[in-house]
Amino acid sequence: MIRIFATATVLLLAALPLRAATEIQEVTSPGGITAWLVQEPSIPMVALQFSFRGGASQDNPEKLGAINLMVGLLEEGAGPLSATRFAERSDELGARLRFSTGRDSVNISASMLTGNLDESVELLRLALIEPTFGETAFERVRGQVNSGLRSDATDPQAIAGNAFRAMTFPDHPYGLSTDGTLETIANLTPDDMRAAHRNTLGRNNVYIGVVGDISPETLGELLDTLLGALPDDISDAVADVQPLLETGTTVIDFDTPQSVVVFSQPGLKRDDPDYLAAYVLNHIVGGRSSTARLTVEVREKRGLTYGISSFLLPYQHAALYMGGFSSGNETVSEAVSLVQTEWAKLAAEGVTAAELETAKRYLTGAYPLRFDGNAAIAGILAGLQVAELPITYIAERNALVDAVTLEEINRVAAELYQPEKLRFVIAGQPSE
Amino acid sequence: MQRFVGLVALIIFGAPAAWAQKVPVTSYTLENGMEVVVIEDNRAPIVTHMLWYRVGAADEPAGKSGIAHFLEHLLFKGTEAVPDGTFSEVIEANGGNDNAFTSQDYTAYFQQVAVDRLPLMMEMEADRMRGLILDDAAMLTERDVVLEERALRTDSDPGSLFSEQRNAAQFLNHPYGTPVIGWLDEVNALTLQDALDFYNLYYAPNNAVLVVAGDVEPEAVYALAQQYYGPLAPSEGIQKRLRPQEPPQRAARRITYRDARVATPYVIRSYLAANRQSGSQTEAAALSLLADVLGGGGITSLLGQRLQIEEDIALSSGAFYSGLSYDPDTFGMYVVPKPDVALEDAEARLDATLEFLIENGVDARRLARSKATLLADEIYAMDSQQGLARRYGAALTSGLTVEDVAAWPDILQAVTEDDILQAARDVLDIRRSVTGYLMGEKETSQ
């Protein structure tokens, strides 16, 4: 009875209205900085997401880790405020500022209370424009990064990931650690921080999403206050690269009861015309779904793992199709061969009409669930701009998913799945 | 100029109670004993449907550790109406996400979905409250999944293994000393009958709390709850939860765990501490603020300021206290020393900081900042539908009421310096503590 009910209601999904889809405004400040805004007055807060394209991949290899350390120092002393005073001020204002460094972007998430907006913006402005990079804070934060690097050296997840990247991108920044190494970090100076700051954060490489209780006019002024003094000549020095991937398994011996597995083959860039079809395909194969093929084969039928998934990883300058799981040392080889078998089947046969239908229902129905908070929506708005998608994308996206045909998806499957390039890297002690 | 900004912020926060009423929460009890809580969030046509059971790992029979969590996994295996592990499949076909989680005090199942699917969520969740069908094959495969989960979360992580040992040392008699996921050998021996016994006893409307958050009207939710959950018969076997309690702790306990995988050693101290009690949350509120002024907010806290900034001996530090548990739990703190600082020295500086606090009191500006942060947290909490639903579900399955949850922010704001110092003197008694060192195999102790 329930199953009948479930099927009967599926048709309603397409009608689900999504407020964020219809109400995104592109705001251009008097100074010419643009942002995407959704006005949401029901909570007295504003969520802002800033994504600066570039990220850790822009590091000079000899100064590896400089950008990550610089970003970590933005809130550790700025303008007239010491690191302590900056943190105290943030607490007093109830402002939440989060700084992080990715491979292709530097990201800043800020949540501010409407009642303290001007003061909170001033605090963030100091961090962005007038960071101090004082010697004491520099040493303290460098110590924290070092500690993270030492921990990575005994963490099977990091061991597998680092080894995978080094062999896949041997002569490219994507093969290196975003945090640097103990050696490169040791040689950095506060002047390196100033140089990294000058070359990373700009008006011309920032993408901004804003959601909350704020008018377009106020936002425009805010953007000029916040970002107006940043340079507008930030460039991207990284070259495109083909990942070096051949079939096979690399084992890195590490004494732990459960092996960590990373697997990968070449993927698709975000602007590839087949990207969306590949995205739907991956949902069927390795998405976070109880019916995904890898989950069914490795977890549900055999209990060989707690979780297995795969995902497209479209970097700015390369594209990977990646996946991962953990499995006991005695069972990991069986799990690896199940993934290989599935890959060969996909390359040869593709997916079924029923699988495509199920995936479409889930993906179109669940899309609105991502828009479940101001901070979440601000992140999506910035992400769409980084991906160079149009402002109408949210409204159109489900129709694009629905338009994927079986013929199309299976043509893409035949091209995408390359068992001869599927590489496994295992940290652990797998038994044969 | 900088010294006065604190005052500005506090003036802006002049009316602490005003925002608390902005989260519209209503509650109701069905005739079969099931509680229903509705939280209105009309920003998007989405709903979070959560069913919480007042049973967790601390309610397991001796020798059956892990059964509450294992049963949580098995609840996805099927009923007559939704057979063969297709529960999540139906949710996904309706564009929804679903999952579940287990703690010492509760087990909860949730879906997030378009609001017009709420009736289906209720129909399916009510169906598996009483109609679970299990067989040995499904049970054995899922037990392997749980063993892999334990290997992933615990056995692969020296910090988790250490935490398991510390809890075991902290609780001599109370089941909080047993890990939620269970001891490896006991999980390995769990049977189908163990799961069914636990299920039949505890999964019933009079042991459940339904929390619905989203774009809904309370009256409509009650009508649906009545329709789907109302016909379920209550269980006769539900008793007030009486777990073995801790005897008075009279001797400080110390443990050292060494593991070759530890790259960053640290020292961590915990003390037995009171939890939030219905109608009497003042002591817990004082402990919450004590944790915040002592070790919340990174370098602005007392520990951060002294150990990371002034003495420059620590990479990080902090204090933790939740207060949200059915029985008394712990108040804790930790120091991650810089590589050239011994754990003994870090512990000595930690103790010196505690003495400093008790002798010198709490800096008024630090306390004001903590309160301002808590107020801001309340506003940001409204931005998370699932977060709000979890807040009410966790509280109601930990012995609190909707009124207690609503009153909590004001109780926090009313805490005084004297309250905090009294709580510190009561709780921070070394005889009631466990101190743990996590070390690599090479470091020497002095």
- The per-residue pLDDT of chain B, averaged, comes to 93
pLDDT of A4 above 60: no
CA distance A136 to chain B (A): 9
H helix or E strand, kind and range, residue B330: strand B329-337
Amino acid at position B344, single letter: E
Please check the confidence at residue A16 and state whether its pLDDT lies above 60. Answer: no
| A113·B156 Cβ contact <8 A | no
What pLDDT, on the 0 to 100 scale, is given for residue B300?
95
Look-up: residue for tokens 């020296």?
Answer: B158
Local structure of residue A65 (DSSP, 8 states):
T
Query: Would you state the pLDDT for residue B114?
Result: 94
Which portions of chain B are predicted below pLDDT 50? 1-21, 446
Cα-flanking dihedrals φ and ψ of residue B182, to 5°? 100, 155
In this structure, chain A runs to a length of 432
The closest CB to that of A44, out of B85, B263, B379, belongs to: B379
**Per-residue pLDDT tens over the stretch A280-309:** 999 999 998 889 999 999 999 999 999 999
- Is pLDDT at A148 greater than 90 in this prediction? yes
The per-residue pLDDT for A3 is 39
Helix segments in A257-324, DSSP class H: 275-286, 293-294
Q: Would residue B72 show up in a list of annotated catalytic residues for this protein?
A: yes
3-state secondary structure of A51: strand
Could you give the CA distance from residue A13 to residue A269 in angstroms, rounded to a whole number?
Answer: 29
Nearest to A153 among B82, B152, B263 (CB): B263
Who among B93, B263, B305 is closest to A150 (CB)? Answer: B263
Contact A303 B124 (CB under 8 A): no
Average pLDDT over residues A258-263: 98
Q: How many CB pairs under 8 A join A and B?
A: 241
Lowest mean pLDDT among A10-24, A175-189, A217-231, B35-49: A10-24
Distance, in Å, from the CA atom of B350 to the CA atom of B267, rounded to the nearest integer, reads 9
Q: Inform me whether the C-beta atom of residue A362 falls under 8 Å from chain B C-beta atoms.
A: yes
**Which are the contacts of A85, defined by CB distance < 8 A and separation ≥ 6?**
B2
Decide if B46 and A255 are in contact by the 8 Å CB cutoff.
no
The pLDDT assigned to B444 comes to: 58
* 8 Å CB contact between A374 and A45: yes
pTM reported for the whole predicted model: 0.93
Q: Residue A413's closest CA among A426, A423, A404?
A: A404
Residue B202 backbone zone (phi > 0: left; psi -120 to 50: alpha; other: beta):
alpha
Question: For position A8, what pLDDT does the model report?
Answer: 36
- Residues 79..138 of A with a Cβ closer than 8 Å to B: which? 80-81, 83-85, 87-89, 91-96, 111, 113, 115-116, 119
pLDDT for res B23: 80
Q: In the prediction, which pLDDT does A19 show?
A: 61
What pLDDT band is residue A331 in, cutting at 50, 70 and 90? very high
- Judged by DSSP in three states, A172 sits in coil
A371 touches chain B (CB under 8 A): yes
**pLDDT for res B445:** 52
Please answer yes or no on whether B9 and A302 come within 8 Å at the CB atom: no
Handedness of CA A238, A242, A243, A244 (dihedral sign): negative
Structure tokens at B255: 């443990």
Res. A6: pLDDT tops 90: no
pLDDT value, residue A20: 61
Which chain B residues contact residue A80 at CB under 8 A? 2
Q: Do B95 and A96 touch (CB under 8 A)?
A: no
Nearest to A66 by CA among A220, A232, A184, A167: A184
